[in-house]
Amino acid sequence: MLATLTEHYFSDAAWIFERKLDGERCLGFHDGSRTGLLSRSGQSLSDTDPEITEALDRQGCHDFVVDGEMVAFEGTRTSFARLQQRIGIHDADRARASQVAVTYYVSDVLYLAGHDVTGLPLRTRKALLRRAPDFSSPLRFTPHRNADGEAYFRQACERGWEGLIAKRADSRYERRRSRNRLKFKCGRRQEPVIGGFTDPAGSRTGFGALLVGYYDAGRLVYAGKAGTGYDRRSLEGLRARLDRLERSHPPFANGPRERGAHWTQPQLVAEIGFTKWTGDGKLRHPRFLGLRTDKPAETVVRERPGDR
């Protein structure tokens, strides 16, 4: 179940408000014989986050599906950039030996003890969830506040959080984007598709900037280039992946004309922070935050307040 972006921030006793974590959404499951983690795109994360899989396997209840967010912390803040170092690992031993600790914040339950509970109100599912698993590290129950969304949102932005997720308390779990879940964002982000890159200049390695876009009526629309937010590791690692996807002509329907541009198959999705959209539909001051492995490229559209 996905949330809809809004710029209408409110307080309402019929809603609950959770911290918007800067991580990767995934489902955790245990069916009695198998335990695992799945990304939004259906990829297994069990070898990427083996300690989470083991924690789910140790639960006293052996028949559940839960929804949550995988995060890594930088101090007291969740950091998608730090989590990126884990997302790139697909070997359980290497993941355990990494210096990036992960925590799975569980926020909802879909299936429990032989019963599909998606039709129950959210408050009821939350009550079931709180009593079902053992929430000891690295599993955490996602706390929420009732009613007072505006004050909580101000606190979230003051603390440097990404924002809040507002959820209608009597809503059922829907396997789609819904207006029963709303995103209150402290800063602006977009998840565009990578369609190319420019050559590096000076002492820079890897590439200069990513050329990105979004889908509109089945066409990949160019949205600008992101040239900041990289370290040497991400520049070199991402260049190797882009080289494997290189193609001879641009995937964008509307350009762009860039000297030294290299074009790629539109398969990779980036997380981009930016200040605003320009009048001609470009990202203003875009900066690279990481790659999204949990979102299929063909589903990427320009995110606007109120979009479903």
**Integer Rg of the chain from CA:** 20
Enter the DSSP assignment of 24: E
What confidence score (pLDDT) does residue 306 get?
A: 55
Looking up tokens 């809809």 gives: 4
> 125-129, 261-265, 280-284 — which is least confidently predicted?
280-284
User: In this structure, what are the phi and psi dihedrals at residue 179, rounded to the nearest 5 degrees?
Assistant: -85, 5
User: In this structure, what are the phi and psi dihedrals at residue 93, rounded to the nearest 5 degrees?
Assistant: -65, -40
Respond yes or no on whether the N-terminal peptide bond of residue 138 is cis (omega within 30° of 0).
Answer: yes
The mean pLDDT of 258-281, rounded to a whole number, is 91
Give the CA count within 13 Å in the CB-facing half-sphere of 19: 20
3-state secondary structure of 71: strand
- Alpha carbons 273 and 283: distance in angstroms, whole number: 9
Is residue 2's pLDDT more than 80? yes
How does the average pLDDT of the chain come out, rounded? 92
Number of Cβ within a 10 Å radius of residue 180: 19
Per the document, the length of the chain is 308
Both tokens of 284, joined, read 């203003």
Sign of CA dihedral 62, 65, 69, 71: positive
Give residues with Cβ within 8 angstroms of 36, minimum separation 6: 28, 29, 44, 45, 46, 53
Q: Respond yes or no: is residue 20 known to be catalytic.
A: yes
Nearest of 95, 86, 111 to residue 54 by alpha carbon: 95
pLDDT in tens, 216-256: 999 999 999 999 999 888 899 999 999 999 999 999 998 78
Share of the chain above pLDDT 70, in %: 99
Give residues with Cβ within 8 angstroms of 1, minimum separation 6: 67, 108, 173, 174, 175, 176, 177, 178, 181
Is residue 305's pLDDT more than 80? no
Is residue 308's pLDDT more than 50? no
What confidence score (pLDDT) does residue 245 get?
A: 97
- Alpha carbons 210 and 193: distance in angstroms, whole number: 10
Give residues with Cβ within 8 angstroms of 305, minimum separation 6: 5, 6, 7, 8
- Which residues share a beta bridge with 146? 16
Give the CA count within 13 Å in the CB-facing half-sphere of 154: 5
Give residues with Cβ within 8 angstroms of 10, minimum separation 6: 149, 150, 166
Domains of the chain with CATH codes: 1-19+144-186 (3.30.1490.70), 22-141 (3.30.470.30), 189-299 (2.40.50.140)
- Alpha carbons 196 and 270: distance in angstroms, whole number: 12
pLDDT in tens, 68-96: 999 999 988 899 889 988 887 899 999 99
Is residue 55's pLDDT more than 80? yes
pLDDT in tens, 141-186: 999 999 899 999 999 988 888 899 999 999 999 999 999 999 998 8
Residue 60: exposure state from Cβ atoms within 10 A (0-12, 13-18, ≥19): exposed
Confidence band, pLDDT 50/70/90 cuts, at residue 276: confident
| Separation in Å, CA 302 to CA 22, 67, 226, 308 | 19, 25, 16, 11
3-state secondary structure of 123: helix
Give yes or no for a contact between 164 and 148, defined as CB atoms under 8 angstroms apart.
no
